[in-house]
Amino acid sequence: MTEGEGTTEERPRLKEYEGEGITVTFEPRRCLHAAECVHGLPEVFDLSRRPWVLPGAAEPARVAEVVRRCPSGALQYHHRPEDAVPEPPDSPTTIRRTPAGQLVVRGDLVVAGPYGDRHETRVMLCGCGASGNQPYCDHSGPCAEPDDEDVPEAR
Ligand code: SF4
Ligand code: FES
């Protein structure tokens, strides 16, 4: 699990959804509504349902493949609890700046933040300084979008 590998006691708020052979975690503050999840596997990710994630509704490999499309890293998965970094990171690492100023990074990452150093494979970092969830973008700045009220989890 990629949660809180640093030395601080505080931990990011994660929701956990268990399925047969795979557990999906969701960090609401990092969700930026790219909707890759709901478009990629609507039987698993359904905003009109509670819980909105049902990992057992598809093959674990397929669930993992769609989770890896989540650009913000809000969605992560592990096949076994002892998997520290279950997801194979992209190589080489890539960094892309969006027109709104976010930094989209994929690779074998260690991100320093309020929870200590976290191993990550996908992040969207704040490029404007306005985010209240640094170093991650939280749509507080010029990157804000009309659907920002529709954050899953609440979902
Ligand atoms: S969980 Fe990830 S893929 Fe799904 S809507 Fe949020 S940012 Fe997009
Ligand atoms: S780039 Fe989105 S809050 Fe800063």
φ, ψ (nearest 5 deg) of residue 67: -60, -40
Nearest-ligand number for the alpha carbon of 100: 2
Beta bridge partner(s), residue 149: none
Residue 104 in this model has a pLDDT that exceeds 50: yes
Average the pLDDT over 117-127 and give the result: 96
Cα 53 to its chain centre, rounded Å, is 13
Q: What is the rounded distance in angstroms from the CA atom of residue 86 to the CA atom of residue 127?
A: 28
Share of the chain above pLDDT 90, in %: 73
Nearest-ligand number for the alpha carbon of 137: 2
Average the pLDDT over 18-22 and give the result: 92
CA-nearest residue for atom 8, ligand 1, is: 34
Token pair of 142, please?
Answer: 């010029």
Residue 148 in this model has a pLDDT that exceeds 70: no
Q: Is the CB of 135 under 6 A from ligand 2?
A: no
pLDDT tier for residue 8 given thresholds of 50, 70 and 90: very low
pTM: 0.86
Closest atom, ligand 2, to C-alpha of 141: 3
Please tell me the predicted confidence (pLDDT) of residue 115: 87
